[in-house]
Structure 1
């Protein structure tokens, strides 16, 4: 069974606190720099008070193959606004000036990290206050590229598992996973269909046989009620596309942020958090 080598880090501390409270966590996803640096910063800084227990921060990329239309569009908006890997790390650094406790996991693709330089990226990420990475296009066979160096640098490497990860593949996937396990509840891209609760229940139970790490469930969670359903079963519910869509809905025809958009997005996160926190009674 896998064990977290970063057992004293923010991710481990947060999940321990959630367990002590007897509830699941809410993990929110937003794309760094979407739709512009100032709005992105305001949303990011407001997420913990709105109820986000952990934050996934997307690193914009030109070809986000695992993401659906909503997150693809957010990535393009961020890139057009000038967001880069360096600026993403600066965004985290600024967040850390006011929040020393909320875990931040960067989610993205390997190409921008490779171009930045793996060792330099890990050193800068750790220095900025990044706690974990989710890199969706690096399989376990490529662990020497980034996964193992990340863990050695003190950055958790969170692995995705899916409904098609069978019993033979599972130990391979879990071998160097740390922080938590992210269960992708549907076989497809982000922001599409939602899985049945019975399927999620069985999947989480199966994952728990292979790991002692917390299990977070995402893909297809769009409403507070759906988040609550997942929170009754898993250690955390992950909501991304619905939040990103809410932000996009606040843009006018020219892509300018309408007044009140940040507050609307954070209000939606509060509704999700209320659902998650009430899920277990």
Structure 2
């Protein structure tokens, strides 16, 4: 199996999976993690009998902090018992750097393939819960390295991933890219206490350290000033991009948004200074 780690920048996580039955969910998981600001490398290697899964894991972890392994029937079919034991050994000997996921299989099936692998704490993943699983991985990556006690736990009482998407409109020159970290330094809110759709008047591209100012910053309208409380998030989607206008979505931690006032008295018409 050829290694593709050469010339790859260091990532937060790499995702190892089988093309035969988990390619779609792996790509969805990668997209969700990227939209949360996690640097992802997808292990784009087709698993087949004789392929060295252990070698792939070793190569991936030289470029990444954590390895997400999506275990499925196709994954087990392309993996020898020696390789499976190697996964467990690496997990236990290297500060729990491997995060196992089960795709369309259960504990009994995993146990039949590898009792020791079945003992590792894992989460089930499919197309319906991929955002919640991504949130669990996000929490692990953002915690102190090696502290992964929450792995496999609930992300919230209602199953929410702890993030909220905010639609942003920006009048001016700006080049949004999915996965880019931005800070909305100041913004206008056209619908008073509704904070899910905003017009940004000042944006900072955190990756490049560049500030952008809207061409319509000085116009009068309903405004909520947050110059001292900027919103920081990661671009998760792009709706429209023209030379003088950008419409995109940023993903913000829900707890941060809840800190902002929803009192209508805090909203007033005027110029943004």
Give TM class, smaller chain: 0.3 to 0.5
Query: Greater strand share, 1 or 2?
Result: 2
TM-score of the aligned structures, taking structure 2 as reference length: 0.36
